[in-house]
Structures are given as C-alpha cells and as structure tokens.
Amino acid sequence: MDRPLRLISANPVDRLARIVEGLLVVASQPLSVEDLAVAADDDAERIETALRLLADRYGEGRSGIVLERVAGGWAFRASREAAEACARLFERPVERGLSAAAVETLAIVAYLGPCTRPDIARIRGVAADSVVAGLVERGLIAEAGRDVEAAGAIRYKTTPLFERVFGLESLAALPRLEDLGGETDEIRERLEAVAEKRPA
C-alpha cells in the first residue's frame, strides 16, 4: 500500500526502513517487531510497514542479502544464489552430523516441550541422556526449568536457534501432530492380526 512512497527518499517510512535495516545488520539473532519498535522508538504498525518495504528490497533474486521472517522475528541471511559459495567458506556446525536419534529427540522436544529426559525416553524406548546433552551443546534445545512432579527433573524446550536452523517462523509452523502418521486404530488392527496368526 505504501509502495509508491518508497521512491520518495524524504518519506518518513523510508527513513524508518533505513533505521530498521541498520538494526538488523547489527543483530546476531532475529529481532521481533517489538524489539525493533523499542529500538527505533516508533510504533509497531509503522515498523511492519518498514519491514514489508525491506523484505521487498531484500528478496531472493534481487539481493545477495535476503530478509526473512524466522524464529519469531526478522533476520538477514545470504541469498540461495550465494549458498554454494558460502558452503565453500563456511560450515553449518549446528546441524552437521545430526543423528536420526537426535532429530527424533528434537521432534519430541519441539512438539511436547518443555519435557524431561524420562519423557523422551518413554516415547523412544531408550535412554535420552547423551542425545539431549548433544542437542544442548549445539544450542538447539535448552533447559526450561524443572518438573516438580518428576522429582525435579530438568525440562527442555527448543531454542530460537532451532527455528532459525530449520527455517521456521515459529513452532506453530510445524505440521500438526494429528496430521502425521500413527493411526492408533491401524496399529491396533495390525497387532490383532499378528495375534490371530499365533496358534491358540
């Protein structure tokens, strides 16, 4: 709606966009609209307008820097065009060598978190200690208080870094658990089928 205005350099929204741009360059983590509003000393609605302006300017195919909405805020990243070159120069240590057990654990914490290691072990059927420690070290999950009912066991939740690495706007961007496989009825039928084959 404000698009034609961005060509006019004296436009106050354009000026605000430049300030937001500066804030995002300095930040090493996604900034929420609220963070930006406080820092720029402006109101959230105008910040959103400025962000739309910037997202348009810093879009894939237009710029080597891309503005994306991720982990509950806004952050700059390299364009996909530059990915190959980036990969030659930089590692992505956070997700390098993430085992299947680690991704499963991550899924459990993302959907059921905050949850304890015994909660994870109950679902996966094996002890979760080392996998959880590895995920904490990578910064993908973090401690989130203690479970008073479970003898003070530490509870874990996913971090904003998790959302960022997986390119999620928020945890709400995960597919609904009900939409994923695991129909109880179907599994029960299969169990019964196995039981029937068993000679009485």
Partner 1 sequence: MIVRELELDLDAFEGPFDLLLTLVLREELELAEVDVVEIVLSFCSRLEERGRLDLDACGEFLVLVAALLELKARGLFPEEELELSELEPEEAAEELARRLADYRRMKEAAAWLSERLEGESERFFRLGPAPLAPRIERQLAPQDPERLGAALRMLAAEPPSVSLGHMALRFPPVSQFLERFRAVLRRRRRFDFASEVAGLSRIEAAVAFLAMLELRKAGEVSLEQASSFAPIRVTRAGVEAREQEWIARSA
61 binds partner 1 (CB under 8 A): no
The angle formed by the CA atoms of residues 117, 119 and 124, to the nearest 5 degrees, is: 90
Choose one: 5-13, 15-23, 35-43, 96-104; the region binding partner 1 (CB under 8 A).
96-104
Site for partner 1 in 130-149 (CB under 8 A): 139, 142
Alpha-carbon span 89 to 98, nearest angstrom: 20
Candidates 6-14, 31-39, 40-48, 90-98; binding stretch for partner 1 (CB under 8 A): 90-98
Per CB under 8 A, 103 contacts partner 1: yes
Question: Is 34 or 45 the residue whose CB approaches partner 1 more closely?
Answer: 34
SS3 70: strand
Residue of the chain from 1, 7, 10, 100 that contacts partner 1 (CB under 8 A) = 100
Per-residue HEC secondary structure of 91-157 comes to CCCCCCCCCHHHHHHHHHHHHHCCEEHHHHHHHHCCCCHHHHHHHHHHCCEEEEEEECCCCCEEEEE
The first and second tokens of residue 124, run together, are 């996966």
Count of C-beta atoms within a 10 Å radius of residue 30: 21
Beta bridge partners of 141: 158
The residues facing 158 across adjacent strands are: 141
User: Alpha-carbon distance 17 to 22, whole Å?
Assistant: 9
Of the two residues 38 and 87, which places its CB atom closer to partner 1 in the complex?
Answer: 87
x/- letters, 20..49, toward partner 1 (CB under 8 A):
--------xx--------------------
Q: Which is nearer to partner 1, 7 or 89 (CB)?
A: 89
Least Å from the CB of residue 74 to partner 1: 12
Q: What is the Cβ-side half-sphere exposure of residue 134, based on CA atoms within 13 angstroms?
A: 18
Q: Which among 6-14, 41-49, 51-59, 161-169 is the span making contact with partner 1, rule CB under 8 A?
A: 161-169
The residues binding partner 1 (CB under 8 A) are 28-29, 68, 75-78, 80, 82-83, 86-87, 90, 92, 94-95, 98, 100, 103-104, 106-108, 110-111, 121-127, 139, 142, 159-161, 164-168, 174-175, 177, 180-184, 187-188, 191-192, 195
